[in-house]
Chains A and B, each alone.
Chain A
Amino acid sequence: MQDLVVNFHTLDGVVHALDGVTFDIRKREILGLVGETGCGKSATGLAILKILPDNSEIVKGQVILEGDEILHKAENQVMNIRGRKIAMIFQDPASSLNPVFPIGKQLLDVLKIHNKATDQDSLRKLAHEKLIMVELSDPESVMTLYPHELSGGMQQRVMMAIALSSSPLLLIADEPTTALDVTIQAQLLVLLKKLKETLGLSVLLITHNLGVVRELCDRIAIMYAGSIVESAKTDRIFKNPLHPYTRGLISSVVTGRLRGKILDYIPGTVPSLLHPPPGCRFHPRCSYAIEACKQSRPELLEVEDGHYAACYNMPKEPWWRT
């Protein structure tokens, strides 16, 4: 994705949701898109598949998939990509599955669309395979059940089965485990990792949970108020966070070493995107802000090998927290 700018037109005015988002994902890589609620990470995911709500406006930007720019494509062309080349799963599986149709029907319909020439029986077999792939035993009976008759974990597995049914190149996972128990969460993440290997899948994992990201992701992109502020390999980010926001984020997570100490936090609140602050959107809360930060938004530049940050005045002190 390059320099994506998206606005939302609401009754209160124009919300500048995404302001020049740029990142890339490689094959067989899990990229974590991390940020607080409201920073625009979900919107980014939706924009890739062009399923943003009707009051949105893609002002500019490009999304390039295997050399092909897809953002400017017409609706019927984009439909070919959805589900086939790029798939998406969402946060609340219970509300993301149609409640009045059994699982089997929903899965079969999707398979039918993507595999037009196949006959009914092969489709059924295919459906069973997909369900087994997400570790759902007894696919035959699962197919007859309705979404509300399944547990949260099973629902999300079904969603994965449907999304991955055509072996897409990229899976966008928008906070897939946030609504579930921690134990289920762990299982699903393990499953995701396994599928990455077996299917050669790339994953854009959108989340606000640093712990999950650390476990699962190969690279991380940190997002704040509509743009990427830092991106690098996972251990690089945690060993040596460059951007002040990243530092603040990581230090506000509770770890064992903090026993007896006061928990750090980032002062202030996330700005309203109706009237975002000029220049770098983080500068009102940043203790390293300089004059240049108010003037213009810093670009995402490669500071070290593979490690990008968007800041005019990165903190010089070494980072000694893990």
Chain B
Amino acid sequence: MNEAASESIPVQRQQHFRELRVFLKLVLKNPLSLTGTAIIVFFVVMAVVGPFIAPYPRQAEGVPDIANQLRPPDWEHWFGTDELGRDLLSRIIFGARISLMTSAAVVSVAIIVGMPLGAIAGYYGERLGAVIMRVTDMFLAFPPLLLALVVAATLGGSLLNAILALIITWWPWYTRLAYGQASATRNLPYVDSARAIGVGDAKIIARHILPATLAPILIQATLDLGSAIIAAAGLSFLGLGAQPPTPDWGLMVNMGKTYFLQHWWYATFPGLAILVLVLGFNLLGDAIREATDPKLSRRRLI
């Protein structure tokens, strides 16, 4: 994957196209990844179109309907209603948008913060790199959710704070990934030749190091989108995330907890939604990972 700096751009592009085609073929052939993609697409569509097709949109936003409290699933309310009589299905549909945006926000900001840090650390090595990595290791030493819990609790419960807490927890992973890739790339001949020509450090990092770190980060990001949803739901479940009346899935499971032994539908359906969406991300991410791992594609003997 290290084309000499002197190779012409069209040849590089050709190579990339070919790799892309093989990659797509592998991913799409796999029924698991197809399902995963389908699920994700479904939820994205739901997030976008949802407000228009949800049967009880105003209830989703919080308008109660006390007369219909805690009704089990029936033809009027496919998923039943909650303790304020709100239709669960509509709330779940609205919740899709929240979950998707939350995880997207967490992952993207974590990458924006973590990737350059890691790239810089890897590129400069020595003192600067060591310092950055030490700090990163300190953060990584925390069991993942613990830090988020503490931060979220400190800042107070709200969706924004939860996102912030998760970003603080998540960025070190990307820094470490980027660092690994950057350190490896730094010593490659074409980087040296670029430096010899006199290309500035910033430019080298931007054009050569960062793209090299992109691949493993993207794979990780696909999986992390799913994990972020679970983490955010976990925080909401503890009351540290979205607050009522926001139709956040984790929050709904939390509220459902009190009622759910008698009214099983309240906690089940939001949790199911979480499960399926995360499943989608994981299926896709897993398939991508298997397709891009060079060690996994050779021969099979037994």
Contact B301 A11 (CB under 8 A): no
Contact B299 A51 (CB under 8 A): no
Binary B-proximity of A36-51 (CB < 8 A = 1, otherwise 0): 0000000000000001
**Is B295 on the interface with A (CB-CB < 8 A)?**
no
Contacts of A55 in B (CB 8 A): 299-300
Contact B22 A11 (CB under 8 A): yes
Contact A54 B301 (CB under 8 A): yes
Task: Tell me which of B22, B26, B298, B301 has the highest count of chain A C-beta atoms within 10 A of its own C-beta.
Answer: B301
Contact B22 A54 (CB under 8 A): no
Contact B300 A53 (CB under 8 A): yes
**Is B58 on the interface with A (CB-CB < 8 A)?**
no
Contacts of A53 in B (CB 8 A): 298-301
What's the Cα separation between A11 and B298 when bound, in Å?
11
Contact B300 A54 (CB under 8 A): yes
Residues 8-43 (chain B) with a chain A CB within 8 angstroms:
22, 25-26
Look across to chain A and name the residue whose beta carbon is closest to the beta carbon of B25: A11
Contacts of B301 in A (CB 8 A): 51, 53-54
Contacts of B300 in A (CB 8 A): 53-55
What's the Cα separation between A59 and B235 when bound, in Å?
59
Look across to chain B and name the residue whose beta carbon is closest to the beta carbon of A55: B299
| CB proximity of A89 to chain B, nearest CB, Å | 17
What's the Cα separation between A6 and B131 when bound, in Å?
58
| CB proximity of B66 to chain A, nearest CB, Å | 62
Number of interface residues of A (CB under 8 A): 5
Look across to chain A and name the residue whose beta carbon is closest to the beta carbon of B297: A11
What's the Cα separation between A51 and B300 when bound, in Å?
10
**A-B interface contact total, Cβ < 8 Å:** 13
Contacts of A51 in B (CB 8 A): 301
What's the Cα separation between A178 and B301 when bound, in Å?
23
Look across to chain B and name the residue whose beta carbon is closest to the beta carbon of A56: B299
- The 6 closest A-B CB pairs, nearest first, are A53-B299, A54-B300, A53-B300, A53-B301, A54-B299, A51-B301
Contacts of B22 in A (CB 8 A): 11
Look across to chain A and name the residue whose beta carbon is closest to the beta carbon of B299: A53
Contacts of B25 in A (CB 8 A): 11
Residues 257-302 (chain B) with a chain A CB within 8 angstroms:
298-301
Contacts of B299 in A (CB 8 A): 53-55
Contacts of B298 in A (CB 8 A): 53
**13 A-B residue contacts at CB 8 Å?**
A11-B22, A11-B25, A11-B26, A51-B301, A53-B298, A53-B299, A53-B300, A53-B301, A54-B299, A54-B300, A54-B301, A55-B299, A55-B300
What's the Cα separation between A6 and B58 when bound, in Å?
67
A contacts, CB < 8 Å to B: 11, 51, 53-55
Binary A-proximity of B224-256 (CB < 8 A = 1, otherwise 0): 000000000000000000000000000000000
Extra contacts, 10 of them, besides A11-B22, A11-B25, A53-B300 (Cβ < 8 A), are A11-B26, A51-B301, A53-B298, A53-B299, A53-B301, A54-B299, A54-B300, A54-B301, A55-B299, A55-B300
What's the Cα separation between A150 and B290 when bound, in Å?
35
Look across to chain B and name the residue whose beta carbon is closest to the beta carbon of A46: B301
| CB proximity of A53 to chain B, nearest CB, Å | 3
Look across to chain A and name the residue whose beta carbon is closest to the beta carbon of B298: A53
| CB proximity of A54 to chain B, nearest CB, Å | 4
Look across to chain A and name the residue whose beta carbon is closest to the beta carbon of B302: A54
| CB proximity of B17 to chain A, nearest CB, Å | 15
Look across to chain B and name the residue whose beta carbon is closest to the beta carbon of A8: B299
| CB proximity of B297 to chain A, nearest CB, Å | 8
| CB proximity of A25 to chain B, nearest CB, Å | 25
What's the Cα separation between A53 and B302 when bound, in Å?
8
What's the Cα separation between A53 and B299 when bound, in Å?
5
Look across to chain B and name the residue whose beta carbon is closest to the beta carbon of A53: B299
What's the Cα separation between A53 and B300 when bound, in Å?
5
| CB proximity of A309 to chain B, nearest CB, Å | 34
Contacts of A54 in B (CB 8 A): 299-301
Contacts of B26 in A (CB 8 A): 11
Look across to chain A and name the residue whose beta carbon is closest to the beta carbon of B300: A54
What's the Cα separation between A11 and B301 when bound, in Å?
17
What's the Cα separation between A208 and B42 when bound, in Å?
57
| CB proximity of B146 to chain A, nearest CB, Å | 36
What's the Cα separation between A54 and B301 when bound, in Å?
6
Binary A-proximity of B162-206 (CB < 8 A = 1, otherwise 0): 000000000000000000000000000000000000000000000
Look across to chain A and name the residue whose beta carbon is closest to the beta carbon of B22: A11
| CB proximity of B289 to chain A, nearest CB, Å | 18
Look across to chain A and name the residue whose beta carbon is closest to the beta carbon of B26: A11
What's the Cα separation between A275 and B299 when bound, in Å?
21
What's the Cα separation between A55 and B300 when bound, in Å?
8
What's the Cα separation between A55 and B25 when bound, in Å?
17
What's the Cα separation between A54 and B297 when bound, in Å?
12
What's the Cα separation between A53 and B25 when bound, in Å?
22
What's the Cα separation between A55 and B297 when bound, in Å?
11
Task: Tell me which of B25, B26, B299 has the highest count of chain A C-beta atoms within 10 A of its own C-beta.
Answer: B299
| CB proximity of A306 to chain B, nearest CB, Å | 37
What's the Cα separation between A11 and B26 when bound, in Å?
9
What's the Cα separation between A51 and B25 when bound, in Å?
28
Contacts of A11 in B (CB 8 A): 22, 25-26
What's the Cα separation between A11 and B19 when bound, in Å?
12
| CB proximity of A15 to chain B, nearest CB, Å | 13
Look across to chain B and name the residue whose beta carbon is closest to the beta carbon of A51: B301
| CB proximity of A19 to chain B, nearest CB, Å | 21
| CB proximity of A113 to chain B, nearest CB, Å | 16
